[in-house]
Amino acid sequence: MTAILSKPSKTKILRGGHTPKHQNLREVLLEQIGSGELGSGQRVPSESELIAQFQVSNTTVRRCLNDLAREGYIHRQRGRGSFVSELAATALHASFGILCTSIAASSAAPSFTAQLTGLEKFASESGDRVELFTTRGLERANRPAHALAQLVQKRELKGLFIISPIPSAWFSELTNGAFPLVSVNIDYPDLDIPRVLGDTESLAFLAGNHLIDLGHRRIAAMLGHMRQTASTIPGAAVRAQAGLDRLVATHPGVQTQTILYDYFDKDATRRQIADLLRHGPQCPTALIVTEDTLARSAWDLAAEAGLNVPADLSIISLQGMAPNYGLTTCICNYDNFCWRASRIMEQLVSGERPARLRELVGGSLRVGQSTGSCRKSDPCV
């Protein structure tokens, strides 16, 4: 029995881009298995058939088939070919989708990876599976909302988690059809969908109060943003800024300075920190940042500038995901965060409406070695 792969749109994704060709071919075959075009026990096209159809080398094909065999999606029989494993189609059926702007965020923000891991964990505990989608194709579409609705229909998804700031208009066709959507750490006040958000406003206020208790009155904050962020969508940086504004209103005489940095431009961010610390007597005595890796970089740059942490500069991270760094951090339980998002999705799929559309997940302060008493005699000068 010879399997036939449909040719439209499949061939072109093997050309161009930065993804290796054997991985692109793997995704094509997995999609065919997941959709049922290649059913359990069915013969996968031979190496020569795949080479001819997709115009790739035999090395690409062999590497792809070896990967699929190692992962258990196919089994290979000498002299007969490759066949779809009995449970492969069931394993590949994606029950839920996760939509983000770029997978590159995973290398920039550990919280991104924590969200992916947590959502997949709780979905799998219920016997479901999640699949990651990026907006790259939607950005090129004439009608992104229609393209997204078509994607959901094609993949037969039961629900979609949103973990990046994406224009709310792109969800118009899904919300009109009451499709289950849950936003994770991205606020959409103009959409009637559930949002589970880290209470970054309270965490920033908590961090600021800790520094004020230590005598600091001049506090800087490095708040991350993404190039793709739509300006109308309140992200974590917006909520953190609200916490700093509340801090200033509560404590007259406290000065705060906010610096926005790009998650994806590490070199530019390091330059921003270095410039901040060059101001000598006028530089802040404390720094609040939104991620542990940035806090660690700030610690190193402070040393290069001749400043001692925490004697000359106290540092707090709002992320709290790297305890080995010895930082003072605000801890957010991402397991609890993702569990709540998953439970809300279950409610939506079953036809229930959550009691609240906007849930905030708080955290606690863990004091480490990066904060201490302000030793400047007049820190407000």
205, 225, 226, 253, 292 from 248: Cα distances, Å: 10, 22, 26, 8, 24
**What is the distance between the alpha carbons of residues 285 and 374, in angstroms, rounded to a whole number?**
7
Report domain extents, the chain: 11-91, 93-198+335-363, 200-332
Report the topology of domain 93-198+335-363. Rossmann fold (3.40.50)
Q: What does the pLDDT look like over 264-285, one tens digit per residue?
A: 788 899 999 999 988 666 789 9
User: What pLDDT score does 280 carry?
Assistant: 65
Helix (H, G, I), strand (E, B) or coil at 309: coil
Q: Could you tell me which CATH number the domain at 200-332 has?
A: 3.40.50.2300
Q: Which residues of the chain have pLDDT under 50?
A: 1-17, 105-108, 228-231, 378-381
Q: What predicted TM-score, i.e. pTM, was given to this entire model? A: 0.70
User: What pLDDT score does 13 carry?
Assistant: 42
User: What pLDDT score does 2 carry?
Assistant: 31
User: What pLDDT score does 132 carry?
Assistant: 83
Tell me what the pLDDT averaged over the chain comes to: 83
**What is the distance between the alpha carbons of residues 256 and 247, in angstroms, rounded to a whole number?**
9
**What is the distance between the alpha carbons of residues 220 and 21, in angstroms, rounded to a whole number?**
46
User: What pLDDT score does 10 carry?
Assistant: 40
Q: CA angle, 227 as apex, 364 and 234 as ends, to 5°?
A: 45
**What is the distance between the alpha carbons of residues 85 and 76, in angstroms, rounded to a whole number?**
10
Q: Name the pairing type of β-strands 255-262 and 286-289.
A: unpaired
Task: List CB contacts of 334: < 8 A, sequence separation 6 or more.
Answer: 111, 114, 115, 118, 321
User: What pLDDT score does 5 carry?
Assistant: 34
Q: Could you tell me which CATH number the domain at 11-91 has?
A: 1.10.10.10
Q: Quick check: do 11-91 and 200-332 share a fold?
A: no
User: What pLDDT score does 221 carry?
Assistant: 96
